[in-house]
Structure 1
């Protein structure tokens, strides 16, 4: 297994759950990516994800990743909207299938380009099943997704098991960036009880108490992005979440 995967799994053995910080190259406001990353690292985040629903160019990815790596030694993982927006500067790539998309490009075709990219650059692929749950927000629109209804436990479990049976290393439940509500705890719990791979949850997580409940439901990795874009105290907010979830 690759270095980043081993790092994540080692950290998961040490902690009840981990926090990952998502940085969107298109949403940086008053602080540089490096400044955000340094503060989040000081707060206890375990890794950085770089990506978003829409990114102007691969140059934005390069710039953002280099800025982060100048200020922290934590792994930087690409969270790509498509194969056009990859960067050899990253440590790893979430090699993810948007499983409930109607567009085969997001399910498998983009991955053909991504596979060659990983082979040529040495960026570590981290295979992941990725599904979007209501309300879905922008990612649901851009990804042409048939959203999983919030009460559809069986549907979520089916996708998670399919991801595991395909040999994927992670399964991600996404409510959408800026979602008014996170993925339901009942759904997280239903999925976590059925699969052996780590469950990642993102979208609509605005504070430590929400993050704590999500982890108690079964999530092993909690992702926040909008939270750090909308606070001046990145270190403090991340620290609150990390303290609530790590156990």
Structure 2
């Protein structure tokens, strides 16, 4: 059953051509700073806030960050956990992911099995997602023990994406890694989207400009995620607005 947050994202994609999510790592700043960042991102037109990180995104810092973001921005908060410790009770939804190209059972199913009862207990909306890490992969590739998809092998990314679809996952996330020099290659995006059809394709990593985001959407991306670019921006609202104005139909 599709929940309200997932339905909202699908409706935004259908109405405007693409959705934008701002990723905030609780380990990178105080909850108060995260709240101000989220408010600026909301003013810039982002559609929802993702909260999570590869390391350190857990406990009271996570809960306090989610609370501050919701209060300041008024947007839905979607957890983006690296493991069971990345769950909290006050978020709206969670990307319930399996890292399909991980060599560790922890990121394929073990954390998910441990986390599922908490998602149920907290009544967080689970959004089933296939997560696939592409070269260079960054911290998340190392932490997740991923067998990285080579950038010159779009057919491999498409195969993993299709496997995720056949597993019943309603979103596929291709991730180049935080701080990547370049986004996922356009040929890879196009190959994945061609085979996914209506399954939403999410892109993250290395997206630093409106032009880069626009090209990804033109190639087939449905949802654009920016995190490092937001963290490093001196004007969060302006940076987010550059992205959102480039990917959404006027």
- Please indicate the TM-score interval, normalised by the length of the shorter structure: over 0.9
Conserved? CA contact 1:21–1:48, under 8 Å = yes
Conserved? CA contact 2:178–2:227, under 8 Å = yes
Match of 2:246 among 238, 244, 247: 244
Q: More deviation in 112-121 or 213-222? A: 112-121
Alpha-carbon shift at residue 36 of structure 1 (Å):
0.3
Taking a change above 3 Å as real, the CA distance of residues 140 and 23 of structure 1, as seen in their structure-2 partners, is: same
Q: Find the counterpart in structure 1 of residue 29 from structure 2.
A: 28
Q: Find the counterpart in structure 2 of residue 228 from structure 1.
A: 230
CA RMSD of the aligned region, Å? Answer: 1.3
Instruction: Tell me how far apart the structure 2 counterparts of residues 2 and 76 of structure 1 sit (CA, whole Å).
Output: 13
Alignment size in residue pairs: 247
Match of 2:220 among 218, 221, 233: 218
Taking a change above 3 Å as real, the CA distance of residues 37 and 235 of structure 1, as seen in their structure-2 partners, is: same
Conserved? CA contact 2:80–2:86, under 8 Å = no
Instruction: Tell me how far apart the structure 2 counterparts of residues 99 and 126 of structure 1 sit (CA, whole Å).
Output: 16
Q: Which runs of 5+ in 1 are unaligned?
A: none
State the SS of the aligned residue for 1:84: helix
Q: Find the counterpart in structure 1 of residue 40 from structure 2.
A: 39
Alpha-carbon shift at residue 23 of structure 1 (Å):
0.1
State the SS of the aligned residue for 1:173: strand
Instruction: Tell me how far apart the structure 1 counterparts of residues 120 and 25 of structure 2 sit (CA, whole Å).
Output: 25
Alpha-carbon shift at residue 85 of structure 1 (Å):
1.9
Q: Find the counterpart in structure 1 of residue 79 from structure 2.
A: 78
Instruction: Tell me how far apart the structure 1 counterparts of residues 86 and 224 of structure 2 sit (CA, whole Å).
Output: 23
Alpha-carbon shift at residue 82 of structure 1 (Å):
0.2
Match of 2:207 among 205, 208, 212: 205
Alpha-carbon shift at residue 28 of structure 1 (Å):
2.1
Instruction: Tell me how far apart the structure 2 counterparts of residues 75 and 56 of structure 1 sit (CA, whole Å).
Output: 18
Q: More deviation in 27-36 or 17-26? A: 27-36
Q: Runs of 4 or more off by more than 4 Å in structure 1? A: none
Instruction: Tell me how far apart the structure 2 counterparts of residues 55 and 184 of structure 1 sit (CA, whole Å).
Output: 29
Alpha-carbon shift at residue 57 of structure 1 (Å):
3.1
Q: Deviations over 1:161-193 (max 9, x none)?
A: 111111101000000000111100110011001
Instruction: Tell me how far apart the structure 2 counterparts of residues 154 and 12 of structure 1 sit (CA, whole Å).
Output: 25
